[in-house]
Structure 1
Amino acid sequence: MKFQRFPILTVALATGSMALSSKISETYIGPENGHLVIVGGNLQSDTIWQKIIALAGGPEAPLVVIPTAGGEPTYNDSLSSVASFRRNGAKNVTVVHTYDPAIADTEEFVAPIREAKGVFFDGGRQWRLVDAYAGTKTEHAFQAVLDRGGVVSGSSAGASIQGSFLARGDTANNQVMVGDHTVGFGYLKNAAIDQHVLVRNRHFDMFDILQAYPGLLGVAVDENTALVVHQNEAEVYAGTYVLIYDGGFWSREEQSELKNLPPPESRFYFLRPGDKYDLGLRKVIQVEEATEL
């Protein structure tokens, strides 16, 4: 039997993005403690692996890899993600996996996560993570990693699961944006996260979600690119681009207001490595460039 959750929408969400923005700016959209590292799939960059290790506390920090989204019958330490962590210096990496929520609700299963300083969700189909772990002691233990200042990270499906709305969560195929699983683990609140966005030409797919839930923030991350989040600050870290769907527009160009833009409900824009975004205000954090004297 599949474990399935359905979205609980706030009043602010139903009243539109302006009301939502004023409400959520009073709290943190990302984790109050700890960090998220949201990767758009095909993670090859040692720089990103090293960032995850550093945010967990360094090479000695215990890390847990969750491969459940992949759908294979069993997993072991031969996972490429485990090899990548170890190649980049991590000395304490454990694979934790089940498809059975009854097992995921046991103290024996959850014990390695209770000791972990970092969690990494591998790619595959994100609904498998929901079916296995939602509502169990394991899901609570994932959240506790953040609460004690650790890092939750993931690539592809492991990126999307971090949003409150589960993009591409349909069991039939990965092209249905609003599927039969619509609730993620919610480490990034009031947000939907897509991945592989530029490589697979997914630029417009997010609008399927935003048409149904216009108060959500849409975030789409390209392959081998990371978005690092703490509290209300999100920074593009390494790789290519992250797309932001907030109804607004931002550009480095002067006089960008002269552009012939589509209506707010059809807009998105790109952020590149080093760019920062305020998740509470839903605005790009603009840093004054130093001028030479």
Structure 2
Amino acid sequence: MKEPTHSLLYFKFVIGTLLFLSFGTLQAQKLKGKLFIIGGGQRSDAMMTQLVNLSELQKNDYIVVLPMSSEEPDSAYIYFKKQFEKLTTNPIIMLNFDKTTATNKVLNDSLQNAKLIFISGGDQSRFMNVVKNTPIYIAIHRAYENGSTIAGTSAGAAVMCEHMITGNQKLESKYSETFNNIRYDNLETTTGLGLVKNVIIDQHFLKRSRYNRLLSALVEFPTHIGIGVDESTALIVRNKEIEIVGSSEVIVVKKPKGIAKSKKENLVSIKSLEMAIYTEGQKFKIQ
């Protein structure tokens, strides 16, 4: 029998490698988890039941609450646990990491193996100051990649993004729940968890009229999609598809054109942009 040539062997090697990589990619996509991003406010049992169903909790699965955003982490945990004990029998534990315990392997293994991870409200910068560049960050990502559901409310919604809105203004010394106008080089952002890419998420959106803040984000990140999630409302993120749940609305702004920056007080103009309003049950795609 004629021996295969080196070219043929190389060809088979390349094809085999590509098939292996393609299979691995498909498997990773299949195993990837979901996000449940809540705009803050009251969380109805009906909405949180959808979170339970989305998480597909099995008998031996457990839920982890990360309360590091909150000034009162114990209260944040108790509030969540009290509601969820009515909706599921799965164990609910709190992992209140700090700089000392951030590298604890046992705690991070527990976090990585949780089927549902819930990030409380509070201050998103407080949360990321504990998590950034630590094994906690890696554990959350591995849980997500392995098929777990990552949920968060208010500050816990903001941290989902790669570019996280802190709420502060560079041109104002005093914090305000909304911005008085739309200015460039004013919005402060920092590194978030990056579980959802090419998106800027703002929370309590309609309740606190945060249009100026989200539009300011779109000026800084014009290729991103700006998503304003109102209270008692959530985004279900499955790969590149988003579904709305809850009792209010979600505002989506994208594709700003003709951005012009004035030297006067950092004001900005936008000739056109796309805007949409979504309610429960509706879906849209992200990049």
Aligned to 2:151: 153
The 2-side partners of 1:108 and 1:246 are apart by 42
> Which runs of no fewer than 5 residues in structure 2 stay unpaired?
1-28, 180-185, 257-269
Offset of residue 128 of structure 1: 1.0
The 1-side partners of 2:224 and 2:80 are apart by 31
| Structure 1 vs Structure 2 CA RMSD | 2.6
The higher relative CO (CA closer than 8 Å, separation ≥ 6) is in 1
The 1-side partners of 2:30 and 2:284 are apart by 15
Counterpart amino acid of residue 112 in structure 2: R
The 1-side partners of 2:49 and 2:196 are apart by 22
Aligned to 2:187: 178
Offset of residue 48 of structure 1: 2.1
> Which runs of no fewer than 5 residues in structure 1 stay unpaired?
1-29, 249-261, 281-293
Q: CA, structure 1 residues 139+201, in 2 after alignment: closer, same or farther (shift >3 Å)?
A: same
The 1-side partners of 2:159 and 2:76 are apart by 23
The 2-side partners of 1:213 and 1:90 are apart by 43
Counterparts of 1:203-242 in structure 2 under 5 Å? 203-242=211-250
1:132 aligns with 2:130: yes
Aligned to 2:202: 194
The 1-side partners of 2:150 and 2:105 are apart by 20
| SS of aligned partner of 1:103 | coil
The 1-side partners of 2:133 and 2:94 are apart by 20
Offset of residue 108 of structure 1: 2.7
The 1-side partners of 2:92 and 2:247 are apart by 25
Aligned to 1:85: 84
Please identify the structure whose Cα radius of gyration is greater: 2
Identity value in percent:
24
What's the TM-score once normalised by structure 1's chain length?
0.73
- 8 Å contact kept, 2:64–2:95: yes
Residue in structure 1 matching 2:254, options 226, 246, 255: 246
Aligned length: 235
What's the TM-score once normalised by structure 2's chain length?
0.74
Offset of residue 31 of structure 1: 9.8
The 1-side partners of 2:123 and 2:89 are apart by 26
| SS of aligned partner of 2:152 | strand
| SS of aligned partner of 1:205 | helix
Runs of 4+ in 1 over 6 A off after TM superposition: none
The 2-side partners of 1:200 and 1:131 are apart by 25
Aligned to 1:63: 63
